[in-house]
Structure 1
């Protein structure tokens, strides 16, 4: 089979990924693709009669339609929550540079994490590849979801693991430095004799980069180390298996596209309602009518008649109602924190936010695990202990909200010695009370009392005469002197 062959799951989901690409790019991309707004049958028949002359009918139809950017706005809102998260990173000394320079374009691990979360939300799939540059240093590459066209799982060392991965890449046309056209090539990763190999092929199968073990560097083709696995991770929205996961924002994208289709009918109907069509009949051949509108009068002759064909618009309200239903469907998808006219209760809004956070929670955890796995691949490749690698993210999105009344009561309890100062501090900084057993809280109170008693004893001792404590400057009206002068 040719290198362009695709995995069956790729063919089954490519339409969804293309829909998400259009939704994120916005109205321009939506209107460029006729598949997003089918032509009405009347326009199809009109173009059969005169394709060029009647092309304006569908053009006006699409121009009046309105696409709502719910998907893009939702993604921005979700990434705003994710941007508050700070990864916990621990690396071996020789891999510390990855914190600031981890990607093929020179960005650090935190930026890599954000990119992967964004793509996992929008497409449900992020292909991540660990590679070695010309100097023998590891780096990460991510691919667009639609460019990971083929993969295969097979028996590898007694386990089911990846044995093939094919990606589309785009390379500059070096013949013209000002040209933006790119050449499409195929990068192939595959296992040969239990060692990962890589090659780059062209459209016709021609070899662009020869097949060699992955990790070969320099002009002398020095091999850093042969890998017994493919350093490819398919990060998903729910797990990191090669299987295709669901797209979190797909329901919203479908609702937005349906709303766009309905809006084309809605705004066309409004246009036709406000622009009645004049008609004339029974005119003599010598009579010519070429002007309509205010301040224009027609001479119809003795047998002529005229009138207006008015669009009644009986279905406009039904179309508008259907558009509102699509908007509500998008809100109920739980992928965007959105106000709905001020009638929503606080509990309902909190429920929607919790739904969103649950989705984000699984995505953040999954992406963090994928990055950590990639870092362990890099550590193993370079000869370090993979257990020294840590990349953790605490998916806590809620901004702490402290109730002033609760805080005041806690302060009274601290003064009365019934709760610990640590409990008060935890609530002040996080908005949550710590989860501790009664005995643990009592022991903490006892420790704090004991510590406070020791500190008080020290202060009393320091305040007694003859302890050797020096007076502070400014205690009297004379400056401090040198003890040796005395």
Structure 2
């Protein structure tokens, strides 16, 4: 097996992780994805084929402009980014219980290689679990012997294996891909070049081994067998100090992505919007036509130009009727509502329900966010216990726990923020927000009254929604 080999679960999810990454970056990444996210119409494909033939009235550049214009009119909403910010803000109000022995106290404020505190590390894990469903963590020590927790992305952990170790299913191989600055005297300090190397962690004769390999599988540095800190380090670790934090549990298997439904809705909205705004463009710009015998110069047209037709000539406009525009608008609204319902899980834009039914539904729908909070905290605690054991400290002296308690007011405010962002960006109907406000018990005013208040800036919103 080559060092570049990929676990089958990793290979199956790679495309979806890339889609979520682009969804977080927003319009720039989605637009750069080209036909991956916005396929060409059959007319555009035909035009490009025609332009490539001999004696074509179209040049390849002109044919390409058809798709470029189509793509520029499309609109990708920032639902995923806004929802993630809102959800992480909600989680950040929860205070974890942290207990560390004196020898590990520095980790409280400097837990990662880039100087983030334990709570900031926890929030970064929560954000990764919401958007990728996965966050690999590795316990490490720096050159000064200080412990820290190295973090990787879902995409930079291409391979792992588990085997029976002492009667338990434990990790026996983990491969991380890393970017490393290329060495050489000709390196440009203003435009550095990087190469991909592979950090391979495995168990050999029940000893933890660390190797750094290149693409060909050759060792770049001498293999290390990290031992317990202190003394001669003659006792090596008998486990790989890696945790794969997940959205449902912390075993190495790939978990589901909580915000994927919203990302899919945003992408479908983007595709529909390309057709919608192109149709609107055609409606606003009817195609002129002329019919005449003899010579005539009809190259100039517009509201300030007069057409001089020869005798017997006629002219007019071919207007785009746009019979499907309303259907497109309705389909876009459906995606807006799906995104709002996915992100703002406590808001039901459907029919009425009893208080007990709503309470039960809330408990069920918050299970994803609750699970993410719990598994993220458990992952941090496990890493701290690994560090403690490595430093020959009793792991029972380490605690990092959290009991998520989202009050109805906090949840409604956070989830309403998601809907509010969608509506105020012009990508969702105001009626969705009005109904959400009424269901949260904030107001009982009608749509007409709330619409009037919206124009004057007096819309009743919970504290924290802005």
State the TM-score, normalized to the length of structure 2: 0.79
Q: CA deviation at 1:100?
A: 1.1
Q: What is the distance in 1 between the residues matched to 2:180 and 2:170?
A: 30
**For residue 4 of structure 1, what is the aligned residue in structure 2?**
4
CA pair 225-381 structure 1, distance change in 2 beyond 3 A: farther
Shift of residue 4, structure 1, vs aligned partner: 1.2
| Aligned position for 2:309 | 300
Residues 24 and 353 (structure 1 numbering): CA distance in 2 closer, same or farther, change over 3 Å?
Answer: farther
Q: Secondary structure at the match of 2:220?
A: strand
Cα offsets for 1:405-456 (capped at 9, x unmatched): xxxxxxxxxxxxxxxxxxxxxxxxxxxxxxxxxxxxxxxxxxxxxxxxxxxx
Question: Which sits farther off after the overlay, 287-296 or 238-247?
Answer: 287-296
The answer on whether the counterparts of 1:131 and 1:215 sit within 8 Å (CA) in structure 2 is no
Task: Specify which of 238, 243, 246 is matched with residue 248 of structure 2.
Answer: 238
Distance 1:335 1:124, change over 3 A: farther
Change (3 A) 1:297 1:399: same
Call closer, same or farther: CA 1:57–1:345 in 2, change over 3 Å: farther
**Alpha-carbon distance in 2 for matches of 1:397, 1:167:** 36
Instruction: Give the SS at the match of 1:208.
Output: coil
Q: Per the alignment, do residues 19 and 352 of structure 1 end up closer, same or farther by CA in structure 2, a change over 3 Å counting?
A: farther
CA drift at 1:369: 0.6
The residue number in structure 2 matching 1:322 is 331
The Cα shift of 1:210 comes to: 2.4
Matched, 1:249 2:250: no
Instruction: Tell me how far 1:243 sits from its aligned partner.
Output: 0.7
Distance 1:56 1:351 in 2: 53
Q: Could you tell me the TM-score, scaled by structure 1's length?
A: 0.76
- 1:262 pairs with 2:263: no
Q: Is the 8 A contact 2:164 2:170 kept in 1?
A: yes
Matched, 1:274 2:275: no
Structure 1's 264 and 181: CA in aligned 2 closer, same or farther, altered over 3 A?
A: farther
- Structure 2 unaligned runs (5+)? 52-59, 411-466
Q: 1:180 to 1:27 in 2, by over 3 A?
A: farther
RMSD: 2.6
Match of 2:218 in 1: 206
SS of 2:172's equivalent?
Answer: strand
1:122-160 per-residue CA deviation (whole Å, 9 max, x = no partner) reads 111111111122222221011111111111111222321
Structure 1 residues 25 and 180, CA, compared in 2 at 3 Å: closer, same or farther? farther
Q: How does 1:338-353 map to 2 (within 5 A)?
A: none
Report deviation, 1:400: 7.0
Compared with structure 1, are the counterparts of its residues 157 and 146 closer, same or farther at alpha carbon in structure 2 (3 Å cutoff)?
same
Residue 281 of structure 1 deviates from its aligned partner by 2.6
| Alignment partner, residue 124 of structure 2 | 115
Matches of 1:27 and 1:109, distance apart in 2? 32
Match for residue 29 of structure 1? 29
- Alpha-carbon shift at residue 119 of structure 1 (Å): 0.4
| Cα distance in 2 between the residues matched to 1:108 and 1:356 | 30
Q: How does 1:133-144 map to 2 (within 5 A)?
A: 133-144=142-153
Q: Unaligned regions of 5+ residues in structure 1, if any?
A: 402-486
> What secondary structure, in the 3-state scheme, does the structure 1 residue paired with 2:139 have?
strand
Alignment of 1:76-475 (within 5 A): 76-173=85-182, 175-214=187-226, 223=233, 225-284=235-294, 286-334=295-343, 354=363, 357-398=366-407
How many angstroms apart in 1 are the aligned matches of 2:18 and 2:234?
38
